[in-house]
Amino acid sequence: MIEEILKPEIEKCLAELYSATDQSIQFQKTRKDFEGDVTLVVFPLLRASRKGPEPTAEEIGNYLKSKVDEVNGFNVVKGFLNLEISAEFWYNQFVAAYNTADYGTIKADDNAPTYLVEYSSPNTNKPLHLGHIRNNLLGYSVAEIIKASGKNMKKVQIINDRGIHICKSMIAWQDFGNNETPESSGLKGDHLVGKYYVEFDKYYKKEVADLVADGMERKEAEKQAPILKKAQDMLISWEAKEPIVIALWEKMNAWVYDGFTSTYGRLGVDFDKNYYESDTYLLGKKVVEIGLEKGVFYKKEDGSVWIDLSAEGLDEKIILRSDGTAVYMTQDIGTAIQRHEDFAFSNMAYTVGNEQDYHFKVLFLILDKLGYDWAKSCYHLSYGMVDLPSGKMKSREGTVVDADDLMEEMVSTAKNIAKELGKLEGMTDKEADALYETVGMGALKYFMLKVDPRKRMLFDPKESIDFNGNTGPFIQYTYARIQSLKRKHNAEVELPSRVVITGKEQEIIKLLTEFPTVIQEAAANYSPALVANFVYDLVKEFNNYYQNTAILTAESEELINFRLGLSIKVGEVIQTAMRLLGAGVPDRM
């Protein structure tokens, strides 16, 4: 990067002009309304120069222009020195990038730190929904970006496969299911189990209403409803490992896992290890004794175990109930410790909605107090909810938008738009179906990930699949255009040793050289939005260039090879960026 060349030269300049050393040298991107490629912030250097910002900038600018080959010129705007870098430097940067495979990414070696990213973490009583889509896409993309930044990566999830909510589906299937299976019903396994979770709720509400009609107080009726009692009894039987209950639990969970596998496959996400709440819910209990010995926890008269975090601005938090049963916090403590034993990670990120911000503050603080150094490197990747425009989609139950329904809707919309735009000429049915899938899913993923994870977002399926604007299909179409150029040229590209490049070409090259830094920043900030917005800026710049520049009909072979080479490298960076977002790019569109 040009900053690495300029920094030592500026240090020499400051020593020669002002006898100054160890100065704070700060660069920033030159604003678009000013000439220049990189800007030096002069204000921190005024103590050394003992002059005003403009004369200081002028002196440094003149020095750099006379001493540094890469500096062609400069201009001064108040306390900012805008440096113009030579076209030859940018061309050499492009040649280096062009000849670098997997440009922008770093392959981790065995000594690189290991990062864990947890995402998805569904319940086994219902299918994945819209919220899970944002969670999965965000967690997967963050993991891929961190891996591309040079870290070893492990993707994990905790599957919530036990508890009263699971027993509710089991009781309803047992009472009303007539031995229905995914095969006999034609339903995906997770949808079938979710159907009985809804059935339980309907029957439970009816029973509560009947009890209230017979004169019982509503709160008492909600506790005494017979079907709820049956579910509670089943949970006790599950914890006692009664064979009949365990067999039913295993059968219905297997249906759900088959359904999840199908949904994950279409989403394009994967996991290195699954943790199951049925295995981990007791893990944290052994840590409680350690915490009591260290004085981290304390026991109340009723036998319950607590931690007092009031000194940290939080409150008291229960760790173990008086009957000895664990709470979610206990489980999360134990699971975190188990994961460190499994992977010896240096950093771990939890992809969980922002309604759990407080929970993770407490979790990390407890782990720290228990003496786990790695607790300081745990991070809550907190994200906002996803809203849909009213009336755009209807879910299976009318309340939650089903993930499978949304994906099918996206691919169907892509199919309709592709037909309207006439983008299927010469394609077989199989090729056309693959295109619908790539475009529909790419639209979904890009639109979800271009928004800062911390923000609540509005997902409009129709807007997301527009072939113009800041959308996945717009980016995919540009990639397909570049592949068309390659097919038309149908020859190896040989970059010239030197060529005169235009200002627009220089701007594209500057953007390309930023890609490695963008990946590192996106990894450090756990933000795929940085990659999404970078690739959109690159595509906008290239499309403007493509519309106004002769590429395959340029006036010389040298220019044709350079311009095609530039186009190809842009295409490769588009493909890499979209891959980091979990999205594909089509060769034809």
Q: What pLDDT digit, counting tens, does each position of 239-249 carry?
A: 999 999 999 99
Residue-by-residue DSSP string for 397-446: SSSS-BHHHHHHHHHHHHHHHHHHHTTTTT--HHHHHHHHHHHHHHHHHH
Question: Domain 2-85, what fold?
Answer: Gyrase A; domain 2 (3.30.1360)
Tell me: the pLDDT tens digits for 124-148? 999 999 999 999 999 999 999 999 9
Nearest of 90, 88, 91, 84 to residue 38 by alpha carbon: 84
What confidence score (pLDDT) does residue 85 get?
96
Residue 273 has pLDDT above 50, yes or no: yes
What confidence score (pLDDT) does residue 272 get?
98
Place 513 in a pLDDT band, splitting at 50, 70 and 90: very high
Residue 391 has pLDDT above 80, yes or no: no
The CATH class given to the 403-580 domain equals mainly alpha
Full-model pTM = 0.93
What confidence score (pLDDT) does residue 395 get?
45
Q: What is the DSSP code (8-state) at residue 123? A: B
Tell me: the pLDDT tens digits for 319-333? 999 988 888 899 999
In the chain, the largest separation of any two C-alpha atoms, in whole Å, equals 95
pLDDT > 90 fraction of the chain, expressed in percent and rounded: 88
Place 186 in a pLDDT band, splitting at 50, 70 and 90: very high
Residue 462 has pLDDT above 50, yes or no: yes
Residue 400 has pLDDT above 80, yes or no: no
Residue 285 has pLDDT above 50, yes or no: yes
Residue 397 has pLDDT above 70, yes or no: no
* Domain 114-280+344-387 sits in CATH 3.40.1350.10: no
> Whole-number mean pLDDT of the chain?
94
Residue 401 has pLDDT above 90, yes or no: no
Residue 570 has pLDDT above 50, yes or no: yes
Do 568 and 425 form a contact (C-beta atoms < 8 A)? no
Q: What are the domain boundaries of the chain?
A: 2-85, 114-280+344-387, 403-580
What is the distance between the alpha carbons of residues 132 and 3, in angstroms, rounded to a whole number? 41
What is the distance between the alpha carbons of residues 370 and 168, in angstroms, rounded to a whole number? 36
Place 399 in a pLDDT band, splitting at 50, 70 and 90: low
Interior angle at CA 527, CA 526 and CA 531, nearest 5: 130
Alpha-carbon dihedral sign for residues 173, 185, 162, 240: positive
What is the distance between the alpha carbons of residues 91 and 565, in angstroms, rounded to a whole number? 12
What is the distance between the alpha carbons of residues 133 and 351, in angstroms, rounded to a whole number? 12
